[in-house]
């Protein structure tokens, strides 16, 4: 085991860096492979890579990273997805889907899903590549800095991002590979071809980009970021992909925005489980719908693109201004029904 209160090399986390990314960099900085480093420092009884440590970081790992790198506990916790509790999602729970958080779909040490995105241009910047917390957020489908679409898999072999597997089962690997390399085929993800974002509506993308920049900065100050707004945004995303709850809503918004239609996967599964292209398309339309609030939603309701009784369906902890609007719409609906029956 490495001796001393701190590890010989104890690099600090970069801005918005994920715990998993930071831990792999620490291992490499100390001249060890990730699995060897973790076994020596934490013991074989403490398995890490069979779980999503960015979401399910055990306390002993948080404490060890703090002690061995000299960073405060608070700073270490900021590298996990717990920092989004009470902001992007209401209440943390260890199992099940968290609002806006992309799942890795862990199976042993493998990741069956594509829950970690990346911007090739961001990976190419700075002294070394690393992975951001914001890239685990389903709302974050493009890079507001470079104005390109994010990606969630290797463009060469189609594998998801799993940098902790770069050396696994490869005894011939001596020097630590770059975190920008695909663990499966070795392709340098910094060389991935990029697509520019189609900003077809200035106001829509201005609001969206502002939200992404604040998420990227880890904006914990709720006075700078309206988290209630993105909660409503998520509700609309969920409704638009639901054939059961709001089959006409996406068709209505698509018609109003005149955007090319996209084929969405059928089935009842969480918005966060959908491919990045689908999420981006639905988010575009949902951002447009919450623009000029609440007139566009009222217009959709009046033409029966969405019923008021589903606008609160499965909406956990909706903000007060949204509840007030639902009360107003319900009151209007009662008046309309009364007028029809009294004729």
> pLDDT, tens digit, for every residue of 94-149?
888 999 999 998 766 667 789 999 999 999 998 899 999 999 999 999 999 999 99
pLDDT of residue 256 exceeding 90: yes
**What are the residues facing 110 on neighbouring strands?**
107
pLDDT of residue 39 exceeding 80: yes
Question: What's 49-104 look like in SS3?
Answer: CCCCCCCCCCHHHHHHHHHHHCCCHHHHHCCCHHHHECCCECCCCCCCCCCCECCC
> Across all residues in the chain, what is the average pLDDT?
91
> Whole-model pTM?
0.93
Nearest to 8 by CA among 40, 56, 45, 35: 40
The Cβ-side half-sphere exposure at 242, using a 13 Å CA radius, reads 18
pLDDT of amino acid 340: 74
Count Cβ atoms within 10 A of the Cβ of residue 299 and give its class: 0-12 exposed, 13-18 middle, 19 or more buried.
middle
pLDDT: is 277 or 173 the higher one? 277
What kind and span of H or E run contains 184? none
Q: What is the pLDDT of residues 257-278, one digit of tens each?
A: 999 888 888 888 889 999 999 9
Rounded to whole angstroms, the Cα distance separating 262 from 240 reads: 12
Query: What percentage of the chain has pLDDT greater than the value 90?
Result: 72
pLDDT of amino acid 195: 97
Q: What is the mean pLDDT of residues 62-72?
A: 96
pLDDT of residue 3 exceeding 70: no
């Amino acid at each position: 085991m490495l001796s001393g209160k701190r590890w010989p090399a104890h690099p600090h986390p970069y801005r918005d860096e994920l715990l998993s990314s930071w831990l792999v960099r620490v291992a490499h900085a100390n001249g060890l492979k990730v699995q060897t480093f973790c076994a020596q420092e934490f013991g074989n009884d403490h398995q890490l890579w069979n779980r999503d440590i960015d979401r399910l970081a055990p306390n002993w790992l948080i404490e060890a990273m703090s002690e061995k790198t000299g960073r405060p506990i608070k700073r270490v916790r900021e590298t996990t997805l717990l920092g989004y509790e009470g902001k992007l999602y209401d209440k943390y729970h260890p199992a099940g889907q968290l609002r806006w958080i992309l799942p890795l779909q862990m199976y042993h040490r493998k990741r069956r899903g594509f829950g970690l995105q990346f911007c090739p241009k961001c990976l190419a910047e700075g002294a070394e590549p690393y992975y951001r917390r914001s890239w685990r957020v389903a709302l974050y489908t493009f890079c507001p800095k470079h104005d390109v679409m994010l990606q969630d898999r290797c463009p060469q072999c189609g594998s998801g991002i799993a940098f902790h597997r770069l050396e696994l089962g490869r005894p011939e690997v001596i020097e630590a590979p770059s975190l920008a390399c695909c663990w499966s085929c070795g392709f340098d993800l910094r060389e991935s071809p990029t697509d520019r974002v189609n900003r077809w509506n200035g106001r829509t993308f201005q609001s969206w980009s502002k939200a992404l920049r604040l998420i990227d900065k880890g904006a914990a100050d709720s006075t700078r970021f309206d988290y209630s707004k993105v909660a409503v945004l998520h509700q609309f995303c969920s409704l638009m992909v639901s054939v059961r709850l709001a089959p006409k809503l996406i068709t209505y918004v698509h018609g109003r925005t005149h955007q090319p239609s996209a084929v969405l996967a059928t089935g009842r599964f969480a918005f966060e489980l959908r491919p990045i292209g689908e999420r981006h398309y639905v988010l575009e339309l949902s951002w447009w719908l919450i623009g000029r609030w609440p007139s566009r939603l009222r217009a959709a309701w009046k033409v029966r693109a969405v019923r008021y009784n589903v606008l609160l369906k499965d909406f956990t902890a909706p903000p007060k201004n949204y509840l007030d609007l639902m009360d107003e719409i319900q009151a209007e609906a009662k008046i309309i029904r009364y007028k029809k029956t009294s004729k």
